[in-house]
Amino acid sequence: MSVETQATAADSGAKATERFRANKSVTSEVTTERVNRLASRAIKALVDTVLEEKVTYEEYNALKAWLIEVGETGEWPLFLDVWVEHAVEEVANENRQGSKGTIEGPYYVPESPVLESPGTLPMRDDEPGTPLVLHGKVTKVDGSALAGAKVEIWHADDLGFYSQFAPEIPEWNLRGTILTDDDGRYEINTVQPAPYQIPTDGACGKLIEAAGWHAWRPAHLHLKVSADNHQLITTQLYFQAGEHLSDDIASAVKPELILNPQDKNDGSDKEVAYDFALAQAN
């Protein structure tokens, strides 16, 4: 068994929590009225569920024990990013022009190695998986090129594991930041990722098992695309005919984000084009 497969929910959760605290700015600019409204609605929704479903003390205590375990194993980033973030993303981008976004997920790490285009993501000499070339153009909404735009990309390997969140994978494996050329074009050499299960050995896995759900996400590439004076877009790109496109546990798949790679050269490699259009910053 690969050492990678020994990655645990607790380890991944602890690292995701650490990354969140280091990378996300949480301000206190929300008004008392807004906190009151949101907290009251959330509590009411839970209370209404208890009353309507006639929740017993046994079920209540099971919920309390589960919530405690989510905190102890550090799985709040996983839980929220899988089951809640897609709704927050929908609200955040409902009026955005340009390319479609979707969730970030818990495995983003900033300041990945910067590469000129065409660039090859850092990977092991024997990196498993089908070689993939992703190329395209970054433009303004009106179609004019954005030179020097940043295309940050990160994704799981062929076994479904992310560097810095599973043991014994090189630090920046399959992570990089590619700069577009003078015509706004980028080209990234990587490998096609595999579908994967979110960690199931912890509290989130217990919920999935108890509810009779599955834990799978379809294969996908994560990207953040940005340029000066333009709105950053966070997105994921999926693969046509891939598994779990229609029942992604994170509810993050959108039709506009599905790729259809074609054979390259002798058919052992794949390539696909995808363009990004960025809206002007407000």
Question: In this structure, is residue 55 part of a structural domain?
Answer: no
198 residue type, one letter: I
For all residues of the chain together, what is the average pLDDT? Answer: 92
Does residue 265 carry a pLDDT above 90?
no
Pairing between β-strand 276-278 and β-strand 131-140 as defined by DSSP bridges: parallel
pLDDT score of 4 more than 80: no
Domain for residue 97, yes or no?
A: yes
- How do the residues of the chain divide into helix, strand and coil, expressed in percent and rounded to 5? 30, 25, 45
Per-residue pLDDT tens over the stretch 154-181 = 999 999 999 999 999 999 999 999 999 9
Q: What's the confidence (pLDDT) of residue 7?
A: 66
| Domain membership flag for residue 29 | no
Number of domains the chain contains: 1
* pLDDT, tens only, 204-232: 999 999 999 999 999 999 999 999 999 99
Let me know if residue 3 belongs to a domain: no
d(CA 7, CA 142): 45
Between CA 153 and CA 119 the distance in angstroms is: 11
Q: How far apart are the first and last CA of the chain?
A: 50
Beta-bridge mates of residue 151: 178, 225
Q: Which domain holds residue 123?
A: 92-278
Which of 52-61, 72-81, 96-105 is predicted least confidently? 72-81
Q: In this model, does residue 6 exceed pLDDT 60? A: no
Q: Could you tell me if residue 131 is inside a domain?
A: yes
Look up the CATH number of the domain holding residue 274: 2.60.130.10
The confidence score (pLDDT) of residue 1 equals 33
Q: Rounded distance, CA 265 to CA 60, Å?
A: 59
Question: Strands 175-179 and 220-226, how do they pair?
Answer: unpaired
Residue 173 lies in a domain: yes
Residue 268 has pLDDT above 70, yes or no: yes
Residue 136 is assigned to a structural domain of this protein: yes
Read off the pLDDT band of 91 (50, 70, 90): very high
In this prediction, residue 12 carries a pLDDT of: 75
pLDDT in tens, 252-261: 999 999 999 9
- 235, pLDDT greater than 90: yes
How far apart CA 87 and CA 105 sit, in angstroms, is 13
State CA 236 to chain mean position distance.
Answer: 7
